[in-house]
A and B are shown apart, each in its own frame.
Chain A
Amino acid sequence: MPAAADPVPALRCAGLRRRFRIGRRVVVALDDIDVSVARGGITGLIGADGAGKTTLMRLAAGLLQPDAGRIEVLGIDVAREPLKVQTRVGYMPQHFGLYEDLSVRENLDLYADLQGVLPAQRPARYAELLHMTGLGPFTARMAGRLSGGMKQKLGLACTLLQPPELLLLDEPTVGVDPVSRRELWQIIDHLTRNLDATVLFSTAYLDEAERCDTVLVLHEGRLLASGPPREIAAGMDGRSFRATAALGRRQLQARLAGLPWVVDAVIQGGGVRVVTQAGASPDPATMRPAAADVRFVPVPPRFEDGLVARLRAESGRDAAAPGGMAAGDAGVVASPPGADDDIIVVEHLTRRFGLFAAVDDISFRVRRGEIFGLLGANGAGKSTTFRMLCGLLPPSSGRLRVAGFDLRNAAAPARGRIGYMAQKFSLYGDLSVAQNLRFFASAYRLHGARRTARMAWAIREFDLAAMLEATARDLPLGFKQRLALACALMHEPDILFLDEPTSGVDPLARREFWRRINALAEAGVTVLVTTHFMEEAEYCDRLVIMAQGRVLAAGEPEAIKAAARGANRPDPTMEDAFIAVIEAADKRTLAA
């Protein structure tokens, strides 16, 4: 019996179920979860939005009651004795649970009072935590005025005042800048290695899974896999390759994704990362004639390869599933790309709110038919830049041109050339899918036969026929994303603005989304996209890295990564590059 070897696991779930009633709809948040997590180390709870991560966290913290089954934390039945559990665990909710109008010190005092930390213990404990989080110089600052990364560390410090045996962290790194993310990981490593704490950590970033000792993969309320991340990637040995060809990487990727022996094909660097079906090896013959020169180099498998393979097996969707629009089929008539045809021009753009400069003197140019990325953490100024480009917000100073117009005072024809997909997919939740399509078509002044034709196009192209009568609010996140994109493309724009389009969706939906965007770009549509996912930078032809309202680096992803290459980083990721760029900027600030 494994229970004998591991007398008291940190977390044990048996037949755990939890449903929620939202209006008339019942959502199964967790469905029959059986899992045991040993004490010690870091356990990652991996899954997209709506996978059930937060529900499991709240059940473990005693904030929710299970509908069926049992959940035990440190051997205690949580449903029966929540108070007993709560005195032994630390829990940081998604927004860190800080009082924004209290200072760093006052937040610490409050949580020390609430957790019963004796006054005599406090000076030493505060000193230790402030040192660990680097918040020492900021004790008098209001929590609301801290950066996202500092808030995250303060939230963590508040839960650590009374050292917990089990630390529950609900998505502490989402939207936080990579530097703070790395620092948080250092703190967590320190806690688990040196202080014997157990950490349960939920995240939507798949690269973080590889840093965990154990991962639990949740998908639509079910436990898809659990175990050490290497084990999940283990079955993938000999199936991961890097493909290169003279063909453009987007076309190469589109071709590879359509092949029956390919499970996964994503753009990475100058090539395409390919995962083959079990037992299949790359078959260059299938790539003829367009990419006859294709070369496959084996690469070590990563966690994401294993996860995507499992998700594909789970959903029955394979790489060849319809949805990828072939180039030219996007229904978009775009002018052919010209070499030095800058369709978006931003020069010394600044936007201040009071004394605070949300966007601080940024300049960049986007060429026609390009996928251009604005990469940065929450609060870096990406959305503010977007709102100015769309004419929703007047700049404080500087100049901007979109397709030759300043959208703030441009006529409808200029706006008619732009498709905009807002963060959280501004759909009408109470309307059905068909009603949303019809509304957006009318909003873009499509009538009669043209509207009918475009709606038919959207339904066919985005595979919406089965869901036409469903209320938009009730759609799964991936569907919402598709519908939002369909609405944004209704009027055949040749410029597309995407604000955090893939935030929270699962890896398959993310791939499908990018396949469509790639097809649009191939058809000549200019795409401007903001994201805080470092890996998505790979899809961009060029990008700028933004932090604190400024552009810190600009160029092709490969060039930005190459600039970060050093003796200790022979093959930097985009995240490494981002950190290097921020550190260099900090050094310049210090020197100045």
Chain B
Amino acid sequence: MNPVALRRLRGLLRKEFLQIWRDPSALAIAFLLPAVLLLIFGYGVSLDARNVPLALVTQRPGALAASFTAAFSHSPYFRPRPFLTIQEAERAMRAHEVQGIVWLPSDFARRAQAGGDAPIGVIVNGVDANDARIVEGYVQQVWATWLTARARRRGEAAPTPLSVQPRVRFNPAVSSRDYLVPGLIAVIMTLTGALLTALVIAREWERGTMEALMVTRVTMREILLAKLIPYFLLGMGGMAASVAIAVLLFGVPLAGSWWVLAGASALFMLAALGMGLLISGFARSQFVAGQIALIVTFLPAFLLSGFVFDIGSMPRAVQWITHVVAARYFVAILQSVFLAGNVWPVILPNALALAVIAAIFLGLARTVFRRRLD
């Protein structure tokens, strides 16, 4: 770059940093938005059941029944409420006071003592299928634990077989937050990156400053670079803040190395900023730019990145679409780097995909932006 062009770029960069400093909206998008979303989703979205209100119907109280209910009271997953009749328990479930019912029939103690089958009734509120399955699994688990403990006390082998949900069996202590939060970071940074560039350029259109820039000697490449550099730094700052929240606040372990995380984040940030640049090539008002960014970046990242909805179980056509969602690759890298470590067979292909997507979006933005208004 010749000195005159360098001076133009420096002038634009200085302007951009002054604006970032004086108008807090960019800082809010980079730092406040990810922090707020991360806190809301991090605390609000959980695939674990904890403190589920559960009705325990004991039709004939006794020592055995008491030991069984105690098993539920000690479980962190349930908050049991005793009932004497199944009718009362059902009424409570209909009123959404309890999520499920565990029912010990009157012959429970007799049949258990006899050493045979001691069936218990489990009724789960199936309105939310996911919750229902989790509650059902937990109930089975508590029951299994109780049976095993009882068998051990009596010097018997554990009764088998038990049908138990694998997720519950292998991951009873680990909170689902540990794999949700890294995915969330990818989804949130998609929105942040796209909004940063889309909104600031739309603002220049709205205020007529873009028109004034275009008739100076500045080139489109310089204008785009002058947007990319400051907002890349800002976006990486937001990314660092999100990682800090994940590690320090949510206690998510970081198994891999920092520099892999930083490198992948940089590639991803370029892709997200590139999407924002591309959007601002079409949307010339901040309102429209914001709407488009939300619809074409945040929603696909949320639904199609595999951060919570498994890509493998989507219809084939939708699976293909997920390949153009940059967040998909970043989610894979983040979940690997946070939970499993530097798993190169995962990281390398996904990083390559991110680089390709970033190059495509930035290249498209470069061709869409011309020094003309039509």
Taking Cβ atoms with an 8 Å cutoff, the residues of A that contact B are 58, 61-65, 82-83, 86-87, 89-102, 106, 109-116, 158
Determine if B208 is an interface residue (Cβ-Cβ < 8 Å).
yes
Contact of A114 with B12 at beta-carbon distance under 8 Å, contacts A64-B374, A65-B374, A97-B212 already known: yes
Q: Is there contact, CB below 8 Å, between A113 and B10? A: yes
Tell me which residues across on chain A come within 8 A of B173, comparing CB atoms. none
Taking Cβ atoms with an 8 Å cutoff, the residues of B that contact A are 4, 7-8, 10-12, 14-15, 18-19, 22-23, 207-209, 211-218, 371-374
Within the complex, which residue of A89, A101, A109 is in contact with B11, where a contact is CB–CB below 8 Å? A109
5 residue pairs bridging A and B, Cβ less than 8 Å apart = A64-B373, A99-B207, A102-B19, A110-B11, A116-B7
Contact of A114 with B218 at beta-carbon distance under 8 Å, contacts A92-B212, A99-B15, A100-B207 already known: yes
Tell me which residues across on chain A come within 8 A of B15, comparing CB atoms. 99, 102, 106, 110
- Number of A-B residue pairs at CB separation under 8 A: 88
Q: Is there contact, CB below 8 Å, between A115 and B217? A: yes
Contact of A113 with B8 at beta-carbon distance under 8 Å, contacts A58-B373, A99-B209 already known: yes
Tell me which residues across on chain B come within 8 A of A106, comparing CB atoms. 15, 18
**Distance, CA A111 to CA B217, complexed state (A):** 10
Q: Is there contact, CB below 8 Å, between B373 and A63? A: yes
Contact of A114 with B18 at beta-carbon distance under 8 Å, contacts A63-B373, A64-B372, A65-B372 already known: no
**Distance, CA A115 to CA B371, complexed state (A):** 15
Tell me which residues across on chain A come within 8 A of B214, comparing CB atoms. 63, 86
Beyond A64-B373, A99-B209, A110-B12, 18 extra complex contacts between A and B, CB < 8 Å: A63-B371, A82-B371, A86-B214, A91-B215, A94-B208, A97-B213, A99-B19, A99-B207, A102-B18, A102-B22, A110-B15, A113-B10, A113-B11, A114-B8, A114-B213, A114-B216, A116-B4, A158-B212
**Distance, CA A115 to CA B7, complexed state (A):** 10
**Distance, CA A87 to CA B371, complexed state (A):** 13
Within the complex, which residue of B8, B14, B23, B217 is in contact with A86, where a contact is CB–CB below 8 Å? B217
**Distance, CA A92 to CA B208, complexed state (A):** 10
Tell me which residues across on chain B come within 8 A of A158, comparing CB atoms. 212
Q: Which residue of B lies closest to A60 (CB)?
A: B215
| Least Cβ–Cβ distance between B279 and chain A, in angstroms | 21
Within the complex, which residue of B18, B212, B371, B374 is in contact with A93, where a contact is CB–CB below 8 Å? B212
Q: Is there contact, CB below 8 Å, between A114 and B217? A: yes
Q: Which residue of B lies closest to A91 (CB)?
A: B215
| Least Cβ–Cβ distance between A557 and chain B, in angstroms | 35
Report which residue of B7, B213, B216, B218 has the largest number of chain A beta carbons within 10 angstroms of its beta carbon. B216
Tell me which residues across on chain A come within 8 A of B217, comparing CB atoms. 83, 86-87, 114-116
| Least Cβ–Cβ distance between A202 and chain B, in angstroms | 14
Tell me which residues across on chain A come within 8 A of B216, comparing CB atoms. 86, 111, 114-115
Q: Which residue of A lies closest to B6 (CB)?
A: A113
Q: Which residue of A lies closest to B211 (CB)?
A: A93
| Least Cβ–Cβ distance between A80 and chain B, in angstroms | 13
Q: Which residue of B lies closest to A64 (CB)?
A: B374
Tell me which residues across on chain B come within 8 A of A110, comparing CB atoms. 11-12, 14-15
Tell me which residues across on chain A come within 8 A of B11, comparing CB atoms. 109-110, 112-114
Q: Is there contact, CB below 8 Å, between A86 and B372? A: no
Q: Which residue of B lies closest to A90 (CB)?
A: B215
| Least Cβ–Cβ distance between A277 and chain B, in angstroms | 43
**Distance, CA A541 to CA B213, complexed state (A):** 46
Tell me which residues across on chain B come within 8 A of A91, comparing CB atoms. 212, 215
**Distance, CA A114 to CA B15, complexed state (A):** 11
Q: Which residue of B lies closest to A95 (CB)?
A: B208
Tell me which residues across on chain A come within 8 A of B215, comparing CB atoms. 61-63, 86, 89-91
